[in-house]
Structure 1
Amino acid sequence: MKNNFKIHTIESAPEASKPTLQAAKKKMGFVPNLMATMSESPVMVESYLALMGLFDKSRLSETERQIILMTNNRLNGCTYCMAAHTAVSKMAKVDEGVIKALRSGSPLNDPKLEALRKFAIIINETRGWATDKQVEEFLAAGYTKETVLEVIVGTGLKVLSNYSTHVAEPDLDKAFVPLAWSENMAIVGA
């Protein structure tokens, strides 16, 4: 069901959204359809771009950030964001085995990265109600309390994009089409 959300251009977007779309185009080389759709609400598109920029400032590696983001995309069934983050991961030279595992919901070979993937699942599925034991196990894997909170930041970022995509259903950008993803690619219960 499409709700007839417009995929804005910089020119057609509400005036208050134009600077954010211009910044997105400068950063990415084009305005992704998701952000073009989000621009209907200047608050939404600016929040998304600002939170993305803040998340990028974390001490987490690009691979670790993508583990959090792609795990949430998969759990939330966001086909648009899985394709987009597959592209981002490839451009950032995230290991192909990690990308493949994240797309399928398979465990990661690296124990520390797998602990991060599992904790991202816990935060998503429990809506943040991780048990003391789950937090302790995550910390024992080599992460910090700072990372615990940054997993929540990444999850919040994905709530903004995944939920917007579910409501507005923007078309997949041509750049992301070769990396299309569907829920039937995921392993159930992983």
Structure 2
Amino acid sequence: MTNFSVPSRGEVSANNQEIFDNLKKGLGMVPNLYAVMAYSDTALANYLAFQNAKTSFSGKEKQAINLVVSQVNECAYCQSAHTMLGKMNGLTEEQTIEIRKGGAGFDAKLNALVSLTKEVTVKRGFASEATVDNFIAQGYTKGQVVELVMLVAEKTAMNYLHAITKVAIDFPVAQNLN
């Protein structure tokens, strides 16, 4: 089996070394899943541009999307990272768990977002008209339907990368829901 060890700064390209330095300054660390992307000279920069692209969703909404997608795709690494980030964006531990289970009964608008995110992820884009209509009825826009699909794709890419690389989780480990 191919082993994907986490490369150190000295083992990656000069461009990726600069990105590592910026991540360390901003986050205090280079997350293992980001570091493993540096096996490619271009993937890490491309991913960070995609991840940090402008969105009309709030930080809390974006983390809800990330939590749902990571749960559906069974990515313990991303569940852990986004539980921490969700809390940093105003969610409680209990709310992160409820969101990962596919609902947000504590907020009707967020619940519509979580429901559509789960359906898009599970059904590979084939969400029901009722779920999309409910999302719009809760105050979201058609543009946000488009953004949601992009965010699902972005998080799915990371979920898949972790499934292949199996790098160690370097965040507080999220509670197992099974």
TM-score (norm 1): 0.84
CA distance in 1 between partners of 2:175 and 2:150 (Å): 24
TM-superposed deviation, 1:159: 1.7
Determine if contact 1:24/1:49 at 8 Å carries over to the other structure: no
TM-superposed deviation, 1:41: 1.2
Determine if contact 2:64/2:86 at 8 Å carries over to the other structure: no
Tell me which moved more, 34-43 or 91-100.
91-100
Q: What amino acid is aligned across from residue 60 of structure 2 in structure 1?
A: T
Percent identity over paired residues: 31
CA distance in 2 between partners of 1:24 and 1:99 (Å): 25
TM-score (norm 2): 0.90
Give SS of 2:9's match: coil
CA distance in 2 between partners of 1:7 and 1:13 (Å): 10
CA distance in 2 between partners of 1:73 and 1:37 (Å): 18
Distance 1:168 1:137, change over 3 A: same
Aligned to 1:149: 146
TM-superposed deviation, 1:97: 3.3
Aligned to 2:131: 134
Q: Which one of 102, 112, 115 corresponds to residue 115 of structure 1?
A: 112
Q: Unpaired segments of 5 or more residues in structure 2?
A: none
CA distance in 2 between partners of 1:72 and 1:92 (Å): 17
CA distance in 1 between partners of 2:116 and 2:57 (Å): 14
Tell me which moved more, 142-151 or 124-133.
124-133
CA distance in 1 between partners of 2:111 and 2:78 (Å): 21
Matches within 5 A, 1:32-181: 32-54=31-53, 57-103=54-100, 105-109=101-105, 110-173=107-170, 176-177=171-172, 179-181=173-175
Q: Unpaired segments of 5 or more residues in structure 1?
A: none
